[in-house]
Homo-oligomer: A and B are copies of this chain.
Amino acid sequence: MEPEMIVELEWESAMSPISTPETAADLAAVAALLEMADRLGIVPLLERGEPVTTAQLAAAADVPEEGMAGFVATLVAAALLEPAGVKEFRVADDFADRIHASGYLYWSLRANQPYVEHPAEFLRDPAGAAALYRRDGREVAVSSRWIGSQGFYPAATEAILAARPRRIADLGAGAAGLLIDLLGRLPESTGVALDMSAGACREASRAARAAGVGDRLEVVERPIQSLADDPAPVAGADVIHAGFVFHDIVREGDVFDRVLRRCREALRPGGIMAITDAVPYAPDGRERRFSALFTYLHAGFMDVELPPEEEWLERFRQAGFDQARCVPHRFPGGRLFIAPK
């Protein structure tokens, strides 16, 4: 089965997404309530899906139990929690979908708030505004994880699983969510997670141990640029994946080309390079609005010019991959580029 076939799912419609005023009210309310749950620190406890008591949630949040009871009652009223026995509650069946949908609101309106709130300052003095208004790393990470739970990597996951790799590298792996998922499904495989953030690397190691794959996951704290001179971490990989990290080095001269070339050399024969990233201003009705925001935030506030699809493919060709192809992606404006060695 070709990777293209695997990812041709039902979302490839040029239709505009359906919505009503109630939909907006619904999504906004759920996102606000889940942000409160996140700020209270109880989302991990809820996400397990097991019944929990108000006392357990109050202890996790370090707040009075009576107060937590009021919040839990609100989550039940909002259909996010359901009663599960005496004084016990469990997340509703669609909780994961709700987290995912809320990720788009959390990312757009909260994680990017310093940009969304100050467009005039950025248009008048980009450098000065950039120094003044910075995003909160935790908000970016949480909202990205919520979107990523269903939005970023299903296409990549399918393509990687189809290759039955023994060793997988992920560049800009963050907390290694993709690798931990893959290693759980491929019990004979090992992986290497590379990220420039010490915090992300610590979280990746912790999460891998918690998921029982700690002995098969190597974590390397390094920027992707470092592979241009030393590709050792990815040597011998069957699959090298990079999610939303190559666009950060588009403007750094020949670094992009050198990193991609080193990855190709490091891959085992028959190995696959897979990049999940974004194209600018995707025109499809399904994705044009979010893609417009995503493109503008990167260009106007983060000094990142997303390459169009043809430029992504050309960069693969220049690095020696002569069979690179682009497959559609659920994340609005997202694309999966797959290139066999």
Contacts and interface: CB of A to CB of B under 8 A. Distances in A.
Contacts of A288: 77-79
Contact of A19 (B27, B80, B287): B27
Contact of A110 (B78, B109, B299): B109
Nearest to A124: B63
A67 interface: yes
Contact of A79 (B289, B294, B330): B289
B28 A107 contact: yes
A286 to B, nearest CB: 5
Most buried by B among A100, A119, A294, A295: A119
A17 B22 contact: yes
Nearest to A118: B39
A279 to B, nearest CB: 12
8 contacts: A22-B286, A26-B332, A27-B28, A29-B291, A39-B116, A61-B123, A63-B123, A71-B123
Contact of A105 (B18, B28, B80): B28
A296 B116 contact: no
Given A21-B101, A39-B116, A78-B289, 6 more contacts: A19-B19, A21-B100, A32-B112, A70-B296, A77-B292, A105-B109
Nearest to A281: B77
A74 to B, nearest CB: 4
Interface in A91-129: 97, 100-110, 112-113, 116-120, 123-124
A116 B32 contact: yes
Given A74-B292, A74-B296, A109-B32, A68 B123 contact: yes
A200 B101 CA distance: 35
A300 interface: yes
Most buried by B among A17, A68, A112: A17
A80 B332 CA distance: 17
A40 B101 contact: no
A24 B63 contact: no
Given A116-B35, A120-B61, A26 B22 contact: no
Interface string A189-229: 00000000000000000000000000000000000000000
A154 B27 CA distance: 22
A77 B332 CA distance: 13
A244 interface: no
A16 B19 CA distance: 12
B292 A33 contact: yes
B119 A28 contact: no
B21 A18 contact: no
B120 A28 contact: no
B120 A39 contact: yes
Given A123-B68, A281-B77, A117 B39 contact: yes
A108 B289 contact: no
B29 A18 contact: no
Contacts of A103: 24
A49 to B, nearest CB: 20
